[in-house]
Amino acid sequence: MKLISSKYTSTGLSFGLLLLRVVAGSTMLANHGMKKITNFEAIVLKGFADPIGIGAKYSLSLAIFAEVFCAVLLIIGLLTRIATIPLIIAMCVALFAAHKGLVFGEGELPAVFLTIFITILLTGPGKYSLDKLIGK
């Protein structure tokens, strides 16, 4: 690998996308989704953000869907681009509703995740994914 070269290989790009998918998806699943599942009632009682007016319980359920189910799809690279859409929405809500758009403050982590998920939406999962294996 030439560190100074601006050339890239499709293998290097696909490995980078695999790494990005697995790390972002695993972090989302373990540090966010699973914590919401295990503390569901406490989070609802505390007053989970309800930016679209459907109630805290349903808003939390949608966040869990994105942070658990879609994160798993992202990790394995199945329906990858579709799976990023709920994750992008969840990170927009976290960044702009819960953290008041403070990208360089308390909203830094949602902003980083948002950037990662938009990148994966635009690039696709790479060749090391179930999408590639099944020809999607």
User: Is the CA virtual torsion 76, 79, 80, 83 positive or negative?
Assistant: negative
Note the pLDDT tens digit of each residue in 9-59: 899 999 999 999 999 999 999 999 999 999 999 999 998 988 889 999 999
- Which residue bears the tokens 């030439």? 2
Q: Does the pLDDT value for residue 3 go beyond 80? A: no
- Which residue bears the tokens 């050339």? 7
Q: Are 70 and 117 in contact (CB under 8 A)?
A: no
pLDDT value of position 136 = 66
Q: How many CB atoms lie within 10 A of CB 37?
A: 12
- Under DSSP, is residue 102 helix (H, G, I), strand (E, B) or coil? coil
pLDDT value of position 6 = 83
pLDDT value of position 49 = 87
Q: Does the pLDDT value for residue 121 go beyond 80? A: yes
Could you give the CA distance from residue 27 to residue 91 in angstroms, rounded to a whole number?
Answer: 13
Note the pLDDT tens digit of each residue in 84-111: 999 999 999 999 988 999 999 999 999 9
pLDDT value of position 1 = 56
Side chain identity at residue 122, one-letter code: L
